[in-house]
């Protein structure tokens, strides 16, 4: 049986096409009874997105990545998202990432149990986008 290895250059090309210079949005949702998954649409996730009490999505542009010889994958610079409750608490159970205006979410991270961020409190999420074989 043959073993196939994808070149570092190809992983870089794929990552550049998929991520580099594209906009991103990191959002918090409360999926308590909605039954959403990573296969659910961006519109479905946006329907359970938080609002009020200081909530704001985190947006930006994805920078150029590089091949990491330790992890043997092509990685984009880490995305950081800080969320702060202001004027009341924020309760959520999912962090989700949207790339550009795609109709499908890139990924979700589920908190179990749900998190309640008290008024005046903040939370930081660090998200790595990567491609490997």
Residues 65-114 pLDDT 10s:
999 999 999 999 999 999 999 999 999 999 999 999 999 999 999 999 99
Q: Is 39 left (phi over 0), alpha (psi -120 to 50) or beta?
A: alpha
What was the pLDDT predicted at 5? 87
- Domain extents in the chain: 8-131
What's the whole-model pTM score?
0.92
Rounded CA-CA distance 44/14 in Å is 27
Mean pLDDT, to the nearest integer, of 30-38? 90
Residues 6+ apart with CB under 8 A from 37: 108
How confident is the model over 100-121, as pLDDT tens digits? 999 999 999 999 999 999 999 9
Interstrand relation of 122-127 and 79-84 (parallel, antiparallel or unpaired): antiparallel
Mean pLDDT, to the nearest integer, of 15-36? 93
């Amino acid at each position: 049986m043959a073993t196939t290895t994808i070149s570092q250059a190809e992983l870089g090309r794929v990552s550049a096409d998929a991520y580099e210079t594209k906009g991103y949005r990191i959002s918090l949702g409360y999926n308590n009874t909605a039954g959403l998954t990573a296969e659910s649409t961006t519109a479905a996730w946006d329907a359970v997105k938080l609002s009020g009490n200081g909530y704001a999505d985190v947006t930006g542009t994805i920078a150029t990545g590089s091949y990491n010889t330790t992890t043997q994958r092509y990685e984009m610079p880490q995305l950081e998202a800080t969320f702060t409750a202001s004027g009341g608490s924020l309760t959520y159970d999912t962090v989700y990432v949207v790339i550009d205006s795609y109709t499908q979410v890139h990924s979700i991270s589920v908190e179990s149990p749900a998190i309640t961020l008290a008024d005046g409190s903040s939370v930081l999420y660090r998200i790595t986008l990567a491609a490997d074989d």
